[in-house]
Structure 1
Amino acid sequence: MSHSEQTIEREIVSKGLTAPRLTPTSIDEAIKDEHYWVAPGRRLTVCALTLRNGFIVTGESAATSSENFDEDLGRKIARDNAREKIWQLEGYLLRQRLHDA
């Protein structure tokens, strides 16, 4: 959970907003597995997050120069980029469930 997510989550809780919603924890729980690939030339990192239902979300990170490439940092950025996409997907699913109820 990022610092900004923690701040927003605290504000939501402090305001007593209790309607069905997504949380950073629910986003993390949607992730079943993760895999990483580093392209030849060591400037591009791709993260593939497999969700509970088998859907795969990808995120990328690219260093502008190979001298600045750091594999750990590339993996973190690529994962964060992939994880960010899950919010929209899970948001759609929650809205659909609320609509159908």
Structure 2
Amino acid sequence: MTRKIIALIGLCFAGAALAACSFSAAEAAPMIAAAAHSAAAPEVLAATLAVAGLGATASPSLQATEAYSASKATHPRVSLADMEGKIQRQHFFTAGDAIAALGQPTDPACPTGLLTICILVMENGFTVIGKAAPVSPENFDAEKGRTFAYEDAIKQLWPLEGYALRERLSAEAA
């Protein structure tokens, strides 16, 4: 499986048509998981994430964590691709948007438009909420808010997925 991924990456970066490099998340997730669990170099994993179109919303911080974890892993682990492959929907909005949509009064002294919220809906219906807000209103950047809120949600999901994996491994060993 890892050789297939590396060969595919080689084709993509050698100038093959981009259409040959596109996968659905469901198709790409097992290949990326195999690469993550292999001895593949971190840059190969990062390229795999990029080619498969996964990790596009993951911050450089999450991608660096994934690459480092993958480079040191010798046994089953939860990868960023594992988690991203289970995300059914993502929703981003500010608290100010939500308050306005509910028809609630807003207070100009309380800058709720600076609090970015990310809701990840997983395949099984479980939801994870990430949030981000700048210390200074002048530093608000909607794109950064979405990135950091997504990162916060993923960081909350990671230990839950780790627990679920540990449960599966424990059950298999019994």
Q: Could you state the TM-score of these two structures normalised by the residue count of structure 2?
A: 0.51
Aligned to 1:22: 78
- Residues 1:8 and 2:69 aligned together: yes
- Residues 1:69 and 2:152 aligned together: no
Matches within 5 A, 1:77-96: 77-96=148-167
Could you tell me which of 78, 81, 92 is aligned with 1:36? Answer: 92
CA-CA distance at 1:86 after TM superposition: 1.2
**Distance in 1 between residues matched to 2:125 and 2:114, nearest whole Å:** 28
CA-CA distance at 1:73 after TM superposition: 0.3
| Higher helix proportion (structure 1 or 2) | 2
In the alignment, structure 1 segments of 5+ residues that lack a partner are: none
- What secondary structure, in the 3-state scheme, does the structure 2 residue paired with 1:2 have? helix
**Distance in 2 between residues matched to 1:7 and 1:53, nearest whole Å:** 28
**Distance in 2 between residues matched to 1:57 and 1:8, nearest whole Å:** 22
Which structure has more relative contact order (CA 8 Å, sep 6+)? It is 1
**Distance in 2 between residues matched to 1:84 and 1:70, nearest whole Å:** 21
Percent identity between the two aligned chains: 35
In the alignment, structure 2 segments of 5+ residues that lack a partner are: 1-61, 97-110
- Residues 1:60 and 2:131 aligned together: yes
| Higher strand proportion (structure 1 or 2) | 1
CA-atom RMSD in angstroms: 1.4
CA-CA distance at 1:5 after TM superposition: 1.9
Is the 1:57–1:86 Cα contact (8 Å) retained in structure 2? yes
CA-CA distance at 1:66 after TM superposition: 2.0
CA-CA distance at 1:21 after TM superposition: 2.1
User: Larger radius of gyration, structure 1 or 2?
Assistant: 2
**Distance in 1 between residues matched to 2:163 and 2:72, nearest whole Å:** 23
User: In structure 2, do the counterparts of structure 1 residues 4 and 99 end up closer, same or farther at CA, with 3 Å as the change threshold?
Assistant: closer
Q: Could you state the TM-score of these two structures normalised by the residue count of structure 1?
A: 0.85
The one-letter amino acid of 2:69's match is: I
